[in-house]
Amino acid sequence: MSTIAQAGRKATDPLRPEPATVIEVIPETPNIKTLRVAFDDPAVTEAFSFLPGQIGQLSVPGAGESTFAISSAPSQTDVFEFSVMKAGVVTSAIHELGAGDPVAIRAPLGCAFPTDEWKGRNIVLVAGGIGMAPLRSLLYHLLDNRADYGGLTLIYGARTPDDLCFASDRDDWRHRADLDFTATIDMACSIWDGCVGLVPTVLEERAPSPENSVAVTCGPPIMIRYALESLARLGFREEQVYTTLERRMKCGIGICGRCNLGPKYVCTDGPVFSLAELNGLPDEM
Amino acid sequence: MRFITREKIQDLLEALASEAEVWAPRELNGSGGSIMFERWRSGDPIAFEGVTTLSAKDMVLPRTEKLFGFRYTAGTGNLLAEALGQSAGQPAKEKGEHLSIDPAEPVAEKVLFGVRACDAKALDVLDSLFNRADGSGYEDPGYRSRRAGLTVITIACTSCDEACFCSSFDNGPAEKAGSDLIFYPVDTGFLVEAVTVRGEKILARDEAAKSGQLFEESMLQPPALAETARVEGTADMETLLPAIFADLDFWERSTASCISCGFCTYGCPTCHCFNIHDEMRGDREGERLRSWDACMFHIYTQEASGHNPRPTPAHRYRNRINHKFSYYPENQGQILCTGCGRCIRGCPAGLDIREVMTAALAHARGQGST
């Protein structure tokens, strides 16, 4: 809500998508795939930019359109990525796509993380499951501008090792000296020798300091709820905590009516909100 | 004021129909008195009395509207995709497909004759979201082109029924906002007042015509207007409603009869929530459509995971009331209700929004027995 990013899309009709093509499909987990996509029209690519946390509408014309976080680095705009969990009709059609298949895209939409305001501060990222997708874009942005920020912590959890996304990224993150990365799974298993524990529990064990820090959390609603409680116990105040929300959306431009929290629309006023902002809105999660 | 006889209305519509589609209220055969806006053609009867069963909003927001057509053709449209796909070891499919999206189609100019002030005002209320006059907000291309091509001729109300409650708001039975011309019913005809330049042009063009003047000067006095039921304090709801949002018991009690049928939203001249969906026409082409949706439906907010932030009729009715009387005023500066009464006339469960409004106001002010 803090950063309005209108960059990157000059369109006279915000409901009209641009044709695009799937470049590559990366299977992440049994039910999550990352699609690398590019616009067909070079002029659209030329004008396109996005900021971390912004969302897009990805459609398979004929099956329909759904809203997803852009999960790739904002520094790369010729090819960018959506990470999609198979859940309904449209996401099932998306999971059928292969390289070379046509899609249509409206992006970017919504507001980004206020990364400019966070310069000079420590950043703590707390992600669960597919909730890593928007935080991955944010993490790329922070790493691309590493000198602008203090300590960088990532806690990323999933139910099982097979449910953790972004395997090649995780290899990189694990070896970076400038990132404190913990991957965790819910329950111990034979193929995992890493951290075991629910994300909020691990967060409290790692106990990042709230001093000059910002925490960002995204994941299943139940994880977000407990992560927010853990952050509060660690001493993070509500204006130091950010999340990015999901809702059923259609238009992506604040008029079709279904994604509102009180007078605010997740698609345009969000999806990024500070906890301070959320606490001022009606509780209708 | 200018004056036109009832007999000459046919001549007026005839003249207007030479340049645009004319739509007017007509009693439907065999409907038991239901009046609807219908395409008017020379000689068609016009229902001068009463209010239409559905509003006029589909003049600007059609029930189902084609946003665009799309087609799949052979061959890839993305050279980058081919190059990168091959380097990634994932060559484009053998029979590549290319997606193209059709350009926008022009819409017909229309004249809406015989609309009531509540429905005309509703257009003005919708303008503040879809087509802000100062260009500061979102401009919906489909809405904007339909609105720009729409001439609105309103008949002020000298009578009303018990469901009407337009006097509860700034608008009333002769509200001007949204109209180009206002017709005031008097003996044998209508006094006519121009509201916009577009309305003035209709009068001026008649004046310039050499013969058969439609409008004449009149010294008649405007008629007494209808006095509708009134909910007091509607403007206070914007700031009062948030205080009782969390009291779900109140919303359950006061909306217990709601069966989530959605008529209130379909009948409403200001409800504008919509769905977007695709329909194929064969294997290779299709259309993306925008259709009226209803916030009273369970599935409206249900997510693919099964989670629903508004799982019960009370959650949904609470959102509807808040949207109309708090959120929309906060975001757009206007109340999203013009008191047309259709949600009261048409509710199969007998739920009266005025009673919910009154109870909510009383509860929020801490005066209610609720």
pLDDT in tens, A23-44: 999 999 999 999 999 999 999 9
The answer, for B42 touching chain A at a CB cutoff of 8 Å, is no
ipTM: 0.90
pTM across the whole model: 0.91
The answer, for B76 touching chain A at a CB cutoff of 8 Å, is yes
Provide the number of CB pairs (under 8 Å) joining chain A to chain B.
163
Report H helices in B1-58: 6-17
> No. of H helices and E strands in chain B?
12, 12
Report how far residue B331's alpha carbon sits from residue B324's, in angstroms, rounded to the nearest whole number.
11
User: Residues 6 or more apart from B113 whose CB is under 8 A from it?
Assistant: B9, B13, B16, B22, B23, B24, B40, B46, B153
The answer, for A254 touching chain B at a CB cutoff of 8 Å, is yes
Task: List, as one string, the DSSP characters of B273-331.
Answer: -EEEEEEEETTTEEEEEEEE--TTSGGGS--TTS--SS-SHHHHHHHHHHIIIIIHHHH
Residues of B in contact with A251 (CB under 8 A): 274, 276
Chain A (22-81) residues lying within 8 Å, Cβ to Cβ, of chain B: 22-25, 36, 38, 40, 59, 61-65, 78-79
Question: In degrees rounded to 5, what are phi and psi of residue A233?
Answer: -65, -30
pLDDT tens digit sequence for A160-193:
999 999 999 999 999 999 999 999 999 999 999 9
The answer, for B68 touching chain A at a CB cutoff of 8 Å, is yes
- The confidence score (pLDDT) of residue A53 equals 97
Chain A interface test: which of B67, B72, B80 (most A C-beta within 10 Å): B80
CB-based contact A61:A37 (threshold 8 Å): no
Report how far residue A137's alpha carbon sits from residue A244's, in angstroms, rounded to the nearest whole number.
12
Residue B245: band (very low, low, confident or very high) from pLDDT cuts 50, 70, 90? very high
**Taking CB atoms and an 8 Å limit, are B302 and A21 in contact across chains?**
no
Beta bridge partners of A260: A265
Residue B153: band (very low, low, confident or very high) from pLDDT cuts 50, 70, 90? very high
The answer, for B297 touching chain A at a CB cutoff of 8 Å, is no
Asked whether residue B95 carries a pLDDT value surpassing 60, the answer given is no
- The confidence score (pLDDT) of residue B81 equals 59
Report how far residue B106's alpha carbon sits from residue B145's, in angstroms, rounded to the nearest whole number.
8
Report how far residue B237's alpha carbon sits from residue B362's, in angstroms, rounded to the nearest whole number.
10
Chain A (218-237) residues lying within 8 Å, Cβ to Cβ, of chain B: 221
- The confidence score (pLDDT) of residue B66 equals 95
Nearest-CA distance A284 → chain B (Å): 6
**Taking CB atoms and an 8 Å limit, are B286 and A62 in contact across chains?**
yes
**Taking CB atoms and an 8 Å limit, are B304 and A99 in contact across chains?**
no
Number of other CB atoms surrounding residue A26 within 10 Å: 17
pLDDT tens digit sequence for B292-301:
999 999 999 9
Chain B interface test: which of A1, A23, A91 (most B C-beta within 10 Å): A23
Report how far residue B324's alpha carbon sits from residue A269's, in angstroms, rounded to the nearest whole number.
19
How large a percentage of chain A has pLDDT more than 70? 96
The answer to which of A140-144, A236-240, B283-287 has the lowest mean pLDDT is B283-287
The enclosing H or E element of B143 equals helix B141-148
The one-character DSSP state at A212 is T
- The confidence score (pLDDT) of residue B176 equals 96
The per-residue b/e assignment along B69-96, b for 16 or more CB within 10 angstroms, e otherwise, is: bbebeeebbbebbbebbeeeebebeeeb
Chain A interface test: which of B82, B98, B99, B265 (most A C-beta within 10 Å): B99
The answer, for B105 touching chain A at a CB cutoff of 8 Å, is no
Report H helices in chain A: 42-47, 89-95, 132-144, 167-175, 199-206, 221-234, 275-279
Closest CA to A137 of A280, A5, A262: A5
- The confidence score (pLDDT) of residue B83 equals 58
User: Residues 6 or more apart from B136 whose CB is under 8 A from it?
Assistant: none
Across residues A63-70, what is the average pLDDT? 96
User: Residues 6 or more apart from A167 whose CB is under 8 A from it?
Assistant: A28
- The confidence score (pLDDT) of residue B304 equals 83
The answer, for B310 touching chain A at a CB cutoff of 8 Å, is yes
Q: What integer best gives the mean pLDDT of chain B?
A: 90
Token readout for A236 is: 């993070």
